[in-house]
């Protein structure tokens, strides 16, 4: 019986992938345009990874100096916050979350984003009050695709993997989610977050 529903953030609850992509590239262009991640590279290699991992990849692949990681990371966070502060409430998804809570499910968010960025997005969209808790890449030793963040959610909720479903959009996230042994509902965008999609998936799991 499903008790816990774990939502990824970017690309699932909030379509913020483009925000993070543009923000990082803007921060990188402040250093040198040669470090910019093109669309193909983003989709095939970088998508779903935390910013710190992306910066390590850029150092290995494009020669970004390691001593510039902190500056790029800070610039990226500031640019991201400027962009996500313009987000508005999503009444459609709020309604879905309210109904799931009413049905008795525990809802939480597990994201590779940093906590402040995740909290701002969830608050601006109006989702925070309907989630029991959130885990970010700052709350774990090993970010996705490691299973740690999902397992921490389950421990916090006091449930087993069989009592959990995980909603993920990226290949990286799905890989880690599936390794927990929990059923994984594959999401393409926030448009897929509907009450029927989620409850039908839970019924099929049963």
pLDDT tens digits along 20-53: 899 999 999 999 999 999 999 998 899 878 899 9
Res 133: pLDDT = 98
Name which residue leads in pLDDT, 81 or 25: 25
pLDDT above 90 (res 85): no
CB 97 within 8 A of CB 167: no
Q: Is 106 exposed, middle or buried (0-12, 13-18, 19+ CB in 10 A)?
A: buried
pLDDT grade, residue 143 (50/70/90)? very high
Q: Is 158 exposed, middle or buried (0-12, 13-18, 19+ CB in 10 A)?
A: exposed
What is the phi/psi pair of residue 153, to 5°? -60, -45
Element spanning 6, H or E: strand 4-7
Q: What was the pLDDT predicted at 173? A: 92
pLDDT digits (tens, 9 = 90+) for 89-127: 999 999 999 999 999 999 999 999 889 989 999 999 999
In whole angstroms, what is the distance from residue 125 CA to residue 194 CA?
A: 16
Q: In 66-192, where do the E strands start and end?
A: 106-110, 133-135, 164-168, 184-186
Is the model's pLDDT at 18 over the cut of 90?
A: no
CB 62 within 8 A of CB 79: no
Domain 4-15+89-205 indexed as CATH 3.40.190.80: no
Predicted confidence (pLDDT) at residue 206 exceeds the cutoff of 90: no
User: How is the chain split into domains, by residue range?
Assistant: 4-15+89-205, 17-84
pLDDT in tens, 173-199: 999 999 999 999 999 999 999 999 999
136/152 Cα distance (integer angstroms):
11
pLDDT score at 43: 85
Sorting pLDDT into bands at 50, 70 and 90, what band is 16?
Answer: confident
With 0-12 / 13-18 / 19 or more C-beta atoms within 10 angstroms meaning exposed / middle / buried, residue 196 is: exposed
Question: Which whole number is the average pLDDT over 149-169?
Answer: 98
Q: Are strands 133-135 and 184-186 parallel, antiparallel or unpaired?
A: unpaired
State percent of the chain over pLDDT 70. Answer: 100
Contact 105, 112 (CB under 8 A): no
pLDDT at residue 84 tops 90: no
Cα–Cα distance, 162 to 89 (Å, whole number): 32
Q: Which of 167, 166, 164, 165 is nearest to 189 (CA)?
A: 167
């Amino acid at each position: 019986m499903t008790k816990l529903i774990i939502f990824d953030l970017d690309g699932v609850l909030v379509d913020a992938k483009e925000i993070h992509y543009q923000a990082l590239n803007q921060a990188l262009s402040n250093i040198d345009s040669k470090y910019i991640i093109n669309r193909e590279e983003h989709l095939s290699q970088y998508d779903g990874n935390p910013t710190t991992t992306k910066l390590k990849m850029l150092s290995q692949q494009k020669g970004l100096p390691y001593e510039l990681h902190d500056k790029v990371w800070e610039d990226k966070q500031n640019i991201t916050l400027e962009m996500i502060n313009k987000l508005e409430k999503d009444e459609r998804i709020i309604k879905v979350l309210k109904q799931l809570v009413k049905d008795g499910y525990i809802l939480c968010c597990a994201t590779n984003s940093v906590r402040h960025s995740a909290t701002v997005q969830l608050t601006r969209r109006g989702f925070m009050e309907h989630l029991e808790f959130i885990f970010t890449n700052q709350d774990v030793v090993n970010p996705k695709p490691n299973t740690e963040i999902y397992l921490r959610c389950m421990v916090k909720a006091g449930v087993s993997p069989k009592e959990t479903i995980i909603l993920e959009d990226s290949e990286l996230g799905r890989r880690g989610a599936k390794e927990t042994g929990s059923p994984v509902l594959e999401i393409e965008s926030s448009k897929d977050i509907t009450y029927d999609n989620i409850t039908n998936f839970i019924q099929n799991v049963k």
